[in-house]
């Protein structure tokens, strides 16, 4: 079976990204910088890539980023809720500093990446997140063997994809970037994911050094 090539992309910047405020399942739109990032991403992809399908989280920051790509390629976006960001429960809407102050015991588990820890009030554990993301990618990629697809999602989703492709444990400290609209390349077969390339932000060069250092 031929592999499915995946361009896995984090959504463009939002105001809450700038504020280090946890978004989770809250539907926060792209800011002006994020819209510009999405435009530059779309321009680069239409010039460089052949894409057979475009998938996105249903949250507007991811869907709007995917829509910019789809419009440039005269395609449609297929929405899948399985590509949503991790649900952070009562952490959602709070800055990192507020989480540390208001939920010190829970914040410790968050920092240490305790796999089975669940954020209070309906949050999602890392184990549950990994299961959801891997299941979703398996479902979507299996439809497109021998083809290339785009998946636009979120930082937590991209983190899981990197770990799955490199066989890195959920608790291992992150040493890779999750830059807004960076292009990350993966291969999928029924045996799992493998990493081809990570963190391509060459399309953001037009923004200038200050704007592209997100």
Q: What is the mean pLDDT of the chain?
A: 96
Please compute the mean of the pLDDT values over residues 194-214 and round it to a whole number. 78
pLDDT tens digits for range 98-142: 999 999 999 999 999 999 999 999 999 999 999 999 999 999 999
Active site residue 11: yes
Q: Rounded distance, CA 201 to CA 27, Å?
A: 25
List the catalytic residue out of 25, 85, 87, 203: 85
pLDDT tens digits for range 64-85: 999 999 999 999 999 999 999 9
List the catalytic residue out of 11, 144, 154, 203: 11
Domains in the chain (CATH in brackets) are 4-196 (3.40.50.1240)
Helix axes 155-166, 126-141, angle to 10 degrees: 80
Q: 11: helix, coil or strand?
A: coil
Residue 187 pLDDT grade (very low, low, confident, very high; cuts 50, 70, 90) = very high
φ, ψ of residue 136 to 5 degrees: the values are: -65, -45
* Cβ–Cβ < 8 Å for 151, 53: no
Determine if the pTM surpasses 0.75. yes
pLDDT tens digits for range 126-185: 999 999 999 999 999 999 999 999 999 999 999 999 999 999 999 999 999 999 999 999
* Cβ–Cβ < 8 Å for 38, 204: no
Please compute the mean of the pLDDT values over residues 193-206 and round it to a whole number. 96
Two structure tokens written together for 155: 């930082």
Q: Rounded distance, CA 172 to CA 143, Å?
A: 31
In percent, how much of the chain has pLDDT > 70?
97
At 12 the pLDDT is: 98
Active site residue 131: no
Q: How many CA atoms lie within 13 A of 160 on its CB side?
A: 23
């Amino acid at each position: 079976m031929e592999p499915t090539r995946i361009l896995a992309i984090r959504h463009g910047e939002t105001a809450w990204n700038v504020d280090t405020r946890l978004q989770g399942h809250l539907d926060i739109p792209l800011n002006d910088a994020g819209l510009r990032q999405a435009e530059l991403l779309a321009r680069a992809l239409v010039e460089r890539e052949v894409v057979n399908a475009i998938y996105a989280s249903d949250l507007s920051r991811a869907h709007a980023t995917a829509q910019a790509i789809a419009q440039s390629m005269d395609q449609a976006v297929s929405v899948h809720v399985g590509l949503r960001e991790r649900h952070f429960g009562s952490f959602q809407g709070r800055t990192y500093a507020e989480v540390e102050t208001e939920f010190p015991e829970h914040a410790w588990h968050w920092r240490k990446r305790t796999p089975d820890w669940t954020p209070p009030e309906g949050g999602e554990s890392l184990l549950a997140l990994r299961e959801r993301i891997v299941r979703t990618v398996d479902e979507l990629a299996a439809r497109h063997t021998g083809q290339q697809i785009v998946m636009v999602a979120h930082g937590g989703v991209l983190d899981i994809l990197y770990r799955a492709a490199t066989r890195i444990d959920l608790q291992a400290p992150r040493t890779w970037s999750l830059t807004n609209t960076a292009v990350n390349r993966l291969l999928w077969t029924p045996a799992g994911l493998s990493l081809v390339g990570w963190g391509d932000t060459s399309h953001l060069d037009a923004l200038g050094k200050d704007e592209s250092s997100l």
